[in-house]
Each structure stands twice: as structure tokens, then as C-alpha cells.
Structure 1
Amino acid sequence: MTKGPDTSRSRAGQGAAQARASRRPMRTDGEATRARLLEAAGSLFAEHGFAETTNKAIAAEAEADIASINYHFRSRAGLYREVLVEAHRRIISVEELRAIAGSALPPEQKLRAFIARIIGQGLDGQGWHARVLSREVLSPSSHLDVLPVAEIGAKMEIMLRLLSEITGLAPDDPALRRSLFSVLGPCAMLVVAAPRITPLADDVLGMGPEVLVDHLCRFALGGLRAISGTA
């Protein structure tokens, strides 16, 4: 009589193969391609803007297939929106801001650490993040609305709690919310607008980060003390 297949041995072989597969590291080719596309797009969008940057140029810069843009980001617009979110994170991420706010530093020093981070990242000429945000803020597109949803909301809540520590005002106090814009406005101006309004800003930017951070902190704290009635 002809014997049938040894199913127990077959099942054992399959189990061993599955075990070997489970021990293999996960492929990161897709993650690497996505990261290259994001970097290439960020650099090109910063230099040429969204409208003037093609999928072909992005793919060539990233050494990737054009189809990979749609695969990872659905479209060039989807890629641009991810670039905007990434640019905002590189200025300061939610995790970095939480670390500053949750540190053992006095509240005034926490504010200084925050401002130092913003100015340091914004004036870093090596990155594309500030230039991308500069283009978008000075000439907004329909894609700018991704930032409040993805990044700005969480960061605002952390900053309001920090300003509450400094002033004694409740985080939901309208005066504190107005103060937040007063604190962030000069920082945003230096990061986003100043590089594009030279020579008007040359003298200010040439002072160096430490001088700028010191001035912005003193200016912000003076206003916060006035609002809280402790000036």
C-alpha cells in the first residue's frame, strides 16, 4: 500500500520555518524610502515652493521611484502636508516641549529654554524646516490647515500651562491666551519672516542667538508680569 504524505513532519517543517521567519528583523526598505522622500521634498519645497516642485524632481533627489510618492503619501499634496508637519516638529516637537515644561527648572527658565530652542532651530541655516514654514506662512496654501490639527493644538495647551505657572492666571483665562500670542509672535517673526526681509533684519539676526534669546525672554517676562499685575 502506498503511504500518504507524512503530515506531522510537514507541519513540523512549517512550524520551524515560521519560527525562523519570526526571528528575522522586519524590512525597513519602505521606511528608508519614505524618509528619503520626506527629506528630498522638504529641501526642494524650501527652495522652490510647492507649485514649482514636481514629483519627478522629488523622486530623483530621493533616488526613489515616482510611484513611491503615491504609495507612501497618496499624492504630492499629501507629501507636502507631511513636510509641513515635520518642519513644525523640527522647530520643536510636542515631546521636547513636554520635557521642558515638566522639568525641575523654575518657570521663567522653562520659558527661556523654550525660546532658546525655537531661536536655535529657526536660525539654523543647515535645515529646510524654517524655510518651508516661512514660505507657507508668508504665502499660505490650502494645506496650512494641517498644522493646527496635527501640531499646534497640543503645543498651545502645554505653553498655556507654562505661562500659567509664571503669571498665576488660569490656563483658560483669555488674557493668558492673548499673552501666548505676544510671547510667540516675536519668535515666529525671527524664525519665519526675518530671513526674507533683509537687510531690515540683518542687524538683529547678526546679534547672535544668546543676545536674541536674552532679549526675547526679558521682553516676554516683562509683559507677563504686567498682565498678571506683578510688574
Structure 2
Amino acid sequence: MRGLLANLESTSELDTRTRLLDAAGPIFARRGFSRATVREICSAANVNIASVGYYFGDKLGLYRQVIAEVHLQREQRFPIPDPKRSGSGGGPVQNGPEQNGPERSREELYCLIHTLLSRMLAPGEDTWELDLLMREMQNPTSVLEDLVRDFFEPMLVRLKKVIRQLIGVNATSIEVEQLALSAVGQCLYYRVGRSVVRILISETDRANAYNIDSLSRHVTAVIVAATEEEALLKQKKQIPYY
């Protein structure tokens, strides 16, 4: 009997914790961390107001866990692609002389950008989740560093690696970082500036040319062109003038 009661208590605790997380996410996204109140969240979750302190320590602890849950869900749905696989479906790279050449690097760059855009624009995603992440970046709390380290840095590391392959071994760290951040910035724009895009671009054009696949090809082409320009400039600097 005691074992049954313990299981019921454990289930009840899990249910309370889950209800708090489910209620807190949309409220934090809509009102922001500073304006959202523990009382409001507990009322929406239909739990005792002391539950936040019991399960998460305080409001910041709850907020930190909500951010972590959102990050984990998006990472699981859209994982960073395996460098040994490529293509929109994640199929294996074909063996051949270009497997580790520029074409292979361009394919990997496309996959990384496609993953970034999917995390930001994929249909069927809860709007509040992305709104919460965008709000945290625009009005940061102490949670932002964890968000950047866990959510953006692994992708940035991969982007820098493939961009360095495209420019060449003589690329400076600054050149590589600027291009990697440029790729991230272009992807972010299509989320942050989506209302502007809706006004400027017709619905038909948005459906045909501004979907995730099309935007991935566009951003990839821009970054590849920039890497080729950087490589060309480096070659010119090495040519002696008499």
C-alpha cells in the first residue's frame, strides 16, 4: 500500500510541475519575465502559489526551466545535422572525389542553415515558444548566457568550421566569425521581421520563394559568395606588385 501511495504522490508532483511549466511558458512569452507574476502563473496552472518555490526555487528558476524545455524540444525536433550526412532529408553523402571538397562544404552549410531556419520558422510550432526566445534576446535576463551557450554556440561552432573550409586555411578568426554571424543574422531576420515580410511580399511569393527550403538556398548562396570573395581577396594580397 505504501508503494502505491508513493507512486501516486510522485505522479501528483510530476503533474504539478508539468502544469506549472505549461502555464508559465505562454505567460512569460506574452508578458515578459519582469511583468509575469508567480500568482498569475499558479492561477493559470491551478496550483498552490507555494509550488513555484517548492519545485523551482523562485520565479527565475521557473523561467530558466521553461527556456531549457523549449530549447530541448526544438533541438530534438531539429537536431544539428550529422557532418557525415547531407541533403534536405539527411541522406548519406555520396562517396567520391569531392566528398571533402567545396561541394561537400556547401552541402553541409545548406544543412546547417536549413536547421536554423526550421527551428525559427517551421509550421505547426507553438508561437509562444519562439516569441519567448526572441523576447529573451531582445530584453535579456541572466538566463540569456545559458540560452546562447546551449542553443546558439554549438551551431555557430559548426558554421565557423564549414566557412573556414570554404575560405581556406588562411582565413582569420574574425573573418570566419563575421560570416557565421551573418548567416545566423539572416535567418533571425525572417523570424523577427516576419510582419514586415508579410506586408512587402505577396502571399503567393511568400509560399513559393520564402519557404524554408528556398530561404535556405538563398542564405547559403549569399554566404558561399561571400566566402569566395574573401578567398579571392586573400589571393590578390599574396600577388606581388612590381
Q: 2:109 aligns with which of 94, 108, 111?
A: 111
Which residue is equivalent to 1:82? Answer: 65
Query: Residue 117 of structure 2 aligns to which amino acid in structure 1?
Result: I
- Per-residue CA distance 1:116-143 (angstroms, 9 max, x = gap): 2322332246332210122222223343
Task: Give the Cα–Cα distance (whole angstroms) in 2 for the partners of residues 72 and 158 of structure 1.
Answer: 36
Structure 1 counterpart SS, 2:35: coil
Which residue is equivalent to 1:163? Answer: 163
Aligned partners of 2:112 and 2:159 also within 8 Å = no
Which residue is equivalent to 2:36? Answer: 53
Q: 1:216 aligns with which of 214, 219, 224?
A: 219
Task: Give the Cα–Cα distance (whole angstroms) in 1 for the partners of residues 146 and 172 of structure 2.
Answer: 24
Structure 1 counterpart SS, 2:126: coil
CA RMSD of aligned residues (A): 3.7
1:67-146 superposed matches below 5 A: 67-92=50-75, 96-97=79-80, 99-103=81-85, 104-105=92-93, 106-123=104-121, 124=123, 126-146=126-146
Q: 1:203 aligns with which of 200, 204, 228?
A: 200
1:213 to 1:153, Cα distance in 2 relative to 1, 3 A = closer
Please list every run of 5 or more consecutive structure 2 residues that lacks an aligned counterpart in the other structure: 86-91, 94-103, 236-242
Query: Residue 71 of structure 1 aligns to which amino acid in structure 2?
Result: Y
Query: Residue 36 of structure 1 aligns to which amino acid in structure 2?
Result: R
Aligned partners of 1:107 and 1:162 also within 8 Å = yes
- 1:227 matched to 2:233: no
Residue 82 of structure 1 deviates from its aligned partner by 2.5
Structure 1 counterpart SS, 2:82: helix
Which residue is equivalent to 1:185? Answer: 185
Quick check: which has more Rg, 1 or 2?
1
Identity rate of aligned residues, in percent? 22
Task: Give the Cα–Cα distance (whole angstroms) in 1 for the partners of residues 221 and 202 of structure 2.
Answer: 17
Which residue is equivalent to 2:19? Answer: 36
Give the alignment's TM-score, normalised by structure 1.
0.71
1:1-12 superposed matches below 5 A: none
1:163 to 1:199, Cα distance in 2 relative to 1, 3 A = closer
Higher mean C-alpha displacement, 39-48 vs 199-208: 199-208
Which residue is equivalent to 1:8? Answer: none
Aligned partners of 1:160 and 1:180 also within 8 Å = yes
Aligned partners of 1:160 and 1:171 also within 8 Å = no
Task: Give the Cα–Cα distance (whole angstroms) in 2 for the partners of residues 91 and 202 of structure 1.
Answer: 28
Task: Give the Cα–Cα distance (whole angstroms) in 2 for the partners of residues 101 and 29 of structure 1.
Answer: 42
Aligned partners of 1:41 and 1:83 also within 8 Å = yes
Give the alignment's TM-score, normalised by structure 2.
0.68
Residue 43 of structure 1 deviates from its aligned partner by 1.1
Structure 2 counterpart SS, 1:140: coil
Higher mean C-alpha displacement, 38-47 vs 61-70: 61-70
- 1:194 matched to 2:193: yes
Q: Where has structure 1 moved over 6 Å in runs of 4 or more?
A: none
Task: Give the Cα–Cα distance (whole angstroms) in 2 for the partners of residues 63 and 102 of structure 1.
Answer: 48
Residue 155 of structure 1 deviates from its aligned partner by 3.4
